[in-house]
Each structure stands twice: as C-alpha cells, then as structure tokens.
C-alpha cells in the first residue's frame, strides 16, 4: 500500500494567480502519480479559491476510471446557515467533481465541531449519505482539542478516520496537542491521515547544523527524514503532501518507493534536531496556518508541502 497522498492545495498556477491553475502541468503530475501506483487525491472546496475541485472532474474523472483512484473532499461547515444549505452544497460538490461518490469525506477543523454536529444534525446527514452510497468513509480533522476529539469519537460512530497535522516538530511540542490527538485516535483504533508532514515547508529549511547532522548520519535530506519519521509510526495510514511542481512530485514518489522507518539511533538524532530548531530563529516562524488569503512563492516555507 502506497502511503503518499497527492494534496491539491498548492497546485502549479499561472502568473501567481491562485485561481488560475496550470492544467497542463497538473495533468502531467497526476499522470505520473497514477502511473507510479499512487492513487489518492486530497482536495477541498476552499483550495485555490474554489477551483481545485474542478481539477478532479477535468483531469481525473475525464482520464481515469474512479475504481482506480480515490478522492478526499471536505465540508466547509463555516459556510452554512442550515441543513438545507449543507445538502445542496454536497450535491454541488458531486457535480463539480463529476464524481458519483466520495471515497473520503470529512469535516474540517474540530474547534466547533460539537456545536456543528448538534446544530446541523451532521451525524444523521453523513450516515444518510453513506447509506445512499454517496460517501464511502467519513472523517474529521483536528488541529487542536484532544478532549473534544475524544468526546466526538466516543459519542458518534459515523467517523471512519481522522486527519491530523503531524510532523516531528509539532508532535514533540508540549505546547501543542498533536501528540495527544494522535493518542486519542489510536485509542479509538481509527485510521489516521497525516497532513503538514513538513510543517508548511519549514522542515525543509532547517538550520545548517541540523542539515549537516542528517547528512553526516545517513547522507539523506531533511525532506527524506521528515517523511521517514512519520513512516516510523505504524498507526499512521497515509501522509498528505501538497506538491506544487513535477520535480517535487517525482522526488516524493521516489522517497516513498524506497522509504524505511527511522532507526532507534536516528530517532534520538531527531530529538537533537528539535533542540537545534528550538534554539534557532526559525523556532519563531509558525509555518503554514492556512489563514493567509493567498499562498505565494514568497511564503517562508518556499516549498509548501
């Protein structure tokens, strides 16, 4: 099973216009991805200012049988006022993507999910869509709130997986709750999709001392070690990487085809790398928070994966 998922948040664009996706370059990236036996794509209504879902219809569905690929899409709860809005929006997403069903469909951001579940009868809605065959698996994502995550998973059996922002820096940061959220997901024995494996690109641009430490140990790159760290955690089922160029895609695929977990010695070195980061200026850079109105080449995480 190939664990790499093609995240469609940062597709190649024309003239730095986030809405103007370069379909020729994207088509080549998708072609290479499929030909190398990777087949899961993560999209959202909000990506590329509401244009990313069109790529599913215009490239994936147009050129490949759905039985040969899987799509993750999301419900932007904050956009709705009532249940009818949600149902109409869901139908529009199916139309936009030209899919008969979603393989994975999730509620993003757990900050207010308890209120949203109650106000919109989301469990009933999602169960109905599963019964109708329009959703195969339902998930939710969480960037914080392990207690809320635990409560939500305990009270609702509709969820089949969770998506968490996981990387070696955040999972070892006591001020964040990613490790606790991960532990909750493991407790519930629910599949885990890891997003932000490179912390918005920051783990590609490590201090020189950390880069040399990795190179002297195995000859690898920071990119390889960031992925190897997550591969070392057996409870992580898939890793989502948002790739912007064919070169990034091919590099990531090559890593995953030959990837090995970090050894016990290398995991100790990860602790040393974290200490180096914590004492460097990059410790004050938050990484990608998805709060920007535009994602540009000038982002501090130059390779935003």
Q: In terms of pTM, does the model score above 0.75?
A: yes
Helices and strands: H and E segment counts in the chain: 12, 10
Taking residues 270-287, what's their average pLDDT? 80
Measured CA to CA, the distance from residue 228 to residue 215 in angstroms comes to 14
Percent of the chain whose predicted confidence (pLDDT) is above 90: 75
- % of residues, the chain, pLDDT over 70: 88
pLDDT single digits (tens) 97-149: 999 999 999 987 555 556 666 677 888 999 999 999 999 999 998 755 888 88
Residue 292 pLDDT > 50: no
pLDDT for 202 equals 94
Report pLDDT digits (tens) over 17-57.
999 999 999 999 999 999 999 999 999 999 999 999 999 99
Q: Which residues contact 176 (CB under 8 A, 6 or more apart)?
A: 144, 170
Q: What is the pLDDT of residue 114?
A: 60
pLDDT at 294 over 80: no
pLDDT at 283: 58
Task: Work out the mean pLDDT of the chain and round it to a whole number.
Answer: 89
Q: Which domains does the chain have, with CATH numbers?
A: 4-282 (3.20.20.100)
**Phi-psi region for residue 43, left (φ > 0), alpha (ψ -120 to 50) or beta?**
beta
Predicted local distance difference test score (pLDDT) of residue 113: 59
pLDDT of residue 282: 67
DSSP 195-218: E-TTTTTGGGS--HHHHHHHHHHH
Distances from the Cα of 191 to the Cα of 59, 73, 186, 239, 286, angstroms: 28, 16, 8, 12, 27
How many residues would you count in the chain?
Answer: 305
Give the mean pLDDT of 144-156.
86
């Amino acid at each position: 099973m190939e664990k790499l998922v093609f995240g469609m948040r940062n597709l190649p664009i024309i003239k730095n216009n986030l809405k103007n996706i370069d379909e020729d370059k994207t088509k080549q990236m998708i072609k290479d991805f499929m030909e190398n036996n990777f087949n899961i794509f993560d999209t959202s209504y909000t990506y590329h200012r509401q244009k990313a879902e069109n790529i599913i219809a215009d490239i994936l569905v147009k050129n490949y049988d759905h039985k040969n690929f899987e799509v993750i899409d999301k419900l932007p709860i904050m956009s709705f006022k009532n249940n009818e809005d949600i149902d109409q929006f869901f139908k529009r997403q199916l139309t936009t993507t030209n899919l008969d069903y979603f393989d994975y469909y999730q509620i993003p951001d757990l900050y207010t999910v308890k209120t949203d579940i109650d106000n919109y009868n989301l469990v009933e809605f999602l169960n109905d869509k599963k019964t109708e065959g329009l959703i195969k698996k339902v998930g939710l994502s969480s960037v914080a709130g392990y207690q809320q995550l635990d409560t939500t998973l305990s009270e609702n059996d509709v969820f089949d997986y969770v998506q968490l922002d996981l990387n070696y820096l955040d999972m070892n940061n006591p001020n964040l709750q990613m490790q606790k959220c991960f532990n909750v997901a493991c407790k519930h024995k629910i599949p885990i999709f890891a997003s932000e494996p490179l912390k918005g690109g920051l783990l590609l641009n490590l201090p020189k001392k950390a880069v040399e430490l990795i190179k002297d140990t195995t000859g690898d790159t920071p990119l390889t070690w960031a992925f190897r760290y997550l591969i070392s955690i057996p409870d992580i089922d898939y890793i989502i990487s948002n790739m912007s160029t064919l070169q990034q895609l091919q590099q990531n695929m090559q890593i995953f085809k030959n990837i090995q977990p970090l050894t016990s010695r290398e995991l100790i070195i990860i602790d040393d790398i974290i200490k180096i980061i914590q004492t460097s200026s990059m410790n004050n850079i938050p990484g990608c928070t998805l709060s920007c109105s535009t994602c540009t080449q000038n982002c501090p995480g130059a390779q935003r994966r």
